[in-house]
């Protein structure tokens, strides 16, 4: 298992378009990936799950992965969040 914390800094948080980019990236990996906010954990590959967390700007989330490409998955998702989804 591999995990990292990251602060969401883009203007709208993980809603609509950024959430779609995030889920598409998560689905590129074989590992099981979760995103956690305030002790609530959902699949990072589920649009409804990610949207249900209500992640807005400035929120700290933890990305957790388990599987053959867990480190690569977490690191690339952290990079995507840190890039502000290229906005």
Q: Annotated active-site positions, please?
A: 15
Please answer whether residues 57 and 8 qualify as being in contact, where contact means their C-beta atoms are separated by less than 8 angstroms.
yes
Is the sign of the CA dihedral 69, 30, 82, 8 positive or negative? negative
């Amino acid at each position: 298992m591999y995990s990292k914390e990251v602060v969401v800094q883009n203007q709208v948080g993980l809603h609509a378009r950024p959430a779609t980019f995030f889920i598409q990236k998560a689905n590129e990996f074989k590992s099981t990936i979760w995103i956690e906010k305030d002790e609530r954990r959902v699949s990072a590959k589920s649009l409804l799950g990610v949207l249900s967390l209500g992640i807005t700007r400035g929120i700290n989330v933890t990305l957790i992965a388990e599987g053959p490409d867990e480190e690569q998955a977490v690191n690339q998702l952290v990079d995507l969040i840190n890039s502000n989804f290229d906005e």
